[in-house]
A = this chain, B = another copy of it.
């Protein structure tokens, strides 16, 4: 028996998130089915991050145990033809038998993608959130820096959290504008790196930075929101379709 770690990319549009649930198809379920069929064993993967319905990933991580003799690095290429086109295993390798993808020190990188223009561009509609008012990128970048460090992020956590503590460490926040598909449009990417995230945390941080970007809050107000530990003061939870889990680094 050996333990295989897989890195998974997916388009979350047509799935009810990562984790298996009674109603709706999930990424975990589709991966279990494809791996079990291909390896002819019953496979139950353990995921690193149980992304929400509609969230995309470039590099989520999961592990599973198998008796297969296929070289671990080859599993990704071999299994992909058994998966739908919106899920791809981008890498596979063997890890220690006691490696657990959630019980490790990790650094996760999320990106929140925004279309900033008057009219949503059709080929980006499933992968970004439209903001029609012009965003001030440097104000957003400045505001983000108040969140970097180890803080109580209660203001940036969905009220229904089950977390025992709302203290988390954010390593870096970076806001960048890149040319969009049309002349009057730019794309804005909010990148957040951290050692752990609360429920909806990146989507609430992004919603708050958007309020700074359109001029509703001055950048320093984000510090006051953080210190107030009150969810109702932060911005809205922006839609899942703009969120990408980019990478999970194991430290």
Contact = CB atoms under 8 A, between A and B. Distances in A.
A118 B89 CA distance: 11
A18 interface: no
Nearest to A178: B178
Contacts of A10: 122
Interface string A59-80: 1000000000000000011001
Contacts of A215: none
A86 interface: yes
A159 interface: no
A89 to B, nearest CB: 8
Contacts of A58: 121, 181-182
Contact of A122 (B86, B122, B181): B86
Contacts of A121: 9, 58, 88
30 contacts: A9-B119, A9-B121, A9-B181, A9-B182, A11-B122, A11-B123, A11-B125, A56-B122, A56-B123, A58-B121, A58-B181, A58-B182, A59-B182, A76-B119, A77-B118, A77-B119, A80-B119, A85-B120, A85-B122, A86-B122, A86-B125, A87-B122, A88-B119, A88-B122, A89-B119, A90-B119, A123-B126, A123-B127, A181-B244, A181-B246
